[in-house]
A = this chain, B = another copy of it.
Amino acid sequence: MELHAQILSPLFSILENIGPVSNELKKALSDKFEEQKILKGKTLLSEGEVCKSLWFLSAGLLRSYHDIGEKEITSRIMFTNHIVISAGSFFTQTPATESIEVLADTTVARLSFSDLQDIYKSFPSFNYHTRIITEQYFAQQEQRLYMLRKHDALSKYRYFLEHYAAFLQDIPQKYIASFLDMTPETLSRTRSRMRNK
């Protein structure tokens, strides 16, 4: 799908907050990113596939999850202005151990791994921006790991409310529960206890 110029402007802002972005680089990114609209319920990436693209999430809602026999573990919930990849798979171009599912109608800008490599070749300075971005995501992930380990059901749900309140309506509770590493029953009881003060 043809790329609308404004879809990348939040991404350019992110990059420019890190360091100067030449017009040539912007042009190259605009040329290679392509817009994609995906309906709720669709799958962006399936376990076992290689994650061949990076997505910049312009609007919508995604979740990534691992299949464990009958169960699922929701690993991340991603929304507007997130850069989305299945890291282990994308970085090394090996099969993914997780799937990515679309929770609400979504618009992304898609960049293929090989186009990204070409951009790195043509614009070595782009490594600087992505190093910083990777560092930021790394630090966030560390925080989340800590949160999951430290807290009980109630405080994990409070954490969710702080960070994801806006999406409460759009995310089925069973996925929230799994994201917070608890069963849907436990989440339901936690919510009910919160209501009754």
Contact surface of A with B, Cβ cutoff 8 Å:
66, 68, 73, 75, 87-88, 91-92, 97, 120, 124-125, 127-128, 130-131, 134-139, 141-146, 148-150, 181
Task: Assess whether A73 is in contact with B138, with CB atoms less than 8 Å apart.
Answer: no
Main secondary structure of the interface of A (DSSP, over half): helix
Smallest Cβ distance from A40 to chain B, in angstroms?
26
Note all chain B residues with C-beta closer than 8 A to A127: 124-125, 127-128, 131
6 pairs of residues in contact across A and B, judged by CB atoms under 8 Å: A87-B135, A124-B128, A125-B127, A131-B131, A131-B134, A148-B149
- Taking the closest CB of chain B, its distance from the CB of A19, in whole angstroms, is 10
Chain B contacts of A138 at CB under 8 A? 87, 91, 134, 137-138, 141
